[in-house]
């Protein structure tokens, strides 16, 4: 497998479905510690309406504060429409993530637009972000199935991917929003995207709704995905899908990679510390494993 980039999405995907709003200072602490751990990217928040997602109401403020600091990690933000892009550009987001759902139902619940209209809007916004000199990643949400519609046509997913590629957008995330993916499907989809364009830079965003999360991540990596999106403690879930469930835990992924001699540059103990604090803040056990069991020790170091 090629070296894997790790995109920590806990501050956005991890928190967006939580009912109690996390104070800005607490978020800043978690983000700073995650960004200092050695992961490559940290997703700070999403530029959405605060009445729809109160947990994301301070995204602009977070970027204004963090933008004055130096961080090891790139800071990303999620954008769903042109207004969100304006806000992201105004606060200096380094990596702008945009997405279209392959599920018509999920797309309308999430953005108020159908898939076809959303694709046009997102491609235009992504090109505008590139023109402004920002890094851009585009995603296909509900790529592997939908809690409302069930199976999603592979042709429909690859149609969105093809539209991205034809627009010159090659950093593409395949998102298992509903957690319906299985390893053979993930492997096939990643290989299909690379067959369309060998230069595509593929990210896998995997939810663990049915306990296949880690298996799906390894299938994606083995097939050629370069980046993996995970969340501290396994927290998360889209509030606009039928069954919201968490992501694979960042510390669990790092632990697995390090046992194979990869990403030894990441401070696993720091990530475990963040996951423990997140669990303590919410007063409940999170889905992740390693923050509870502790890592396997090898040769006097965490691996």
Print the SS3 string covering 87-103.
Answer: HHHHCCCCEEEEEEECC
pLDDT of 210 above 80: yes
Tens digit of pLDDT for each residue in 44-61?
999 998 888 899 999 999
The answer to whether residues 187 and 219 touch, using CB atoms and an 8 Å cutoff, is yes
Per-residue pLDDT band at 231 (split at 50, 70, 90): very high
The answer to whether residues 196 and 161 touch, using CB atoms and an 8 Å cutoff, is yes
Q: Which helix (H) or strand (E) holds 65?
A: helix 59-66
Comparing 258 with 111, the larger pLDDT belongs to 258
The whole-angstrom separation of Cα 175 and Cα 143 is 6
The whole-angstrom separation of Cα 226 and Cα 224 is 6
For the annotated catalytic residues, the residue numbers are 238
The answer to whether residues 121 and 82 touch, using CB atoms and an 8 Å cutoff, is yes
Residue with tokens 């637009």: 113
Q: Which helix (H) or strand (E) holds 171?
A: strand 171-176
Q: Please, what are the domains in the chain?
A: 5-302 (3.20.20.70)
pLDDT of 302 above 80: no
pLDDT of 2 above 90: no
pLDDT of 172 above 50: yes
The whole-angstrom separation of Cα 177 and Cα 9 is 13
Return the pLDDT at 242: 47
């Amino acid at each position: 497998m090629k070296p894997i980039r790790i995109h920590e999405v806990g501050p956005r995907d991890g928190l967006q479905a939580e009912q109690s709003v996390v104070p800005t200072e607490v978020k800043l602490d978690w983000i700073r510690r995650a960004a200092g751990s050695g992961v490559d990217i940290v997703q700070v928040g999403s530029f959405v309406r605060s009445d729809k997602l109160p947990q994301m109401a301070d995204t602009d403020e977070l970027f204004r504060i963090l933008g004055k600091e130096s961080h090891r990690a790139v800071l990303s933000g999620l954008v769903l429409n042109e207004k969100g892009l304006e806000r992201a550009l105004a606060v200096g987001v380094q990596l702008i993530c945009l997405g279209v759902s392959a599920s018509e139902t999920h797309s309308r619940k999430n953005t108020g637009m159908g898939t076809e209209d959303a694709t046009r809007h997102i491609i235009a916004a992504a090109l505008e972000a590139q023109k402004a000199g920002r890094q851009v990643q585009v995603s296909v949400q509900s790529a592997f199935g939908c809690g409302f519609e069930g199976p999603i046509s592979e042709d429909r997913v690859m149609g969105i991917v093809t539209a991205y590629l034809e627009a010159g957008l090659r950093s593409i995330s395949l998102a298992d929003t509903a957690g319906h993916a299985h390893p053979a499907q993930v492997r096939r989809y990643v290989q299909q995207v690379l067959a369309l364009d060998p230069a595509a830079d593929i990210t896998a965003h995997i939810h663990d709704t049915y306990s296949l999360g880690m298996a799906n991540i390894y299938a994606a990596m083995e097939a050629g995905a370069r980046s993996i999106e995970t969340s501290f403690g396994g927290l998360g879930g889209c509030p606009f899908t039928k069954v919201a469930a968490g992501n694979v835990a960042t510390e669990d992924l790092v632990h697995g990679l390090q046992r194979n001699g990869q990403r030894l540059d990441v401070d696993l103990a720091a990530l475990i510390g963040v996951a423990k604090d997140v669990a303590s803040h919410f007063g409940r056990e999170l889905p992740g494993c390693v923050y509870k069991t502790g890592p396997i020790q090898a040769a006097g170091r965490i691996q």
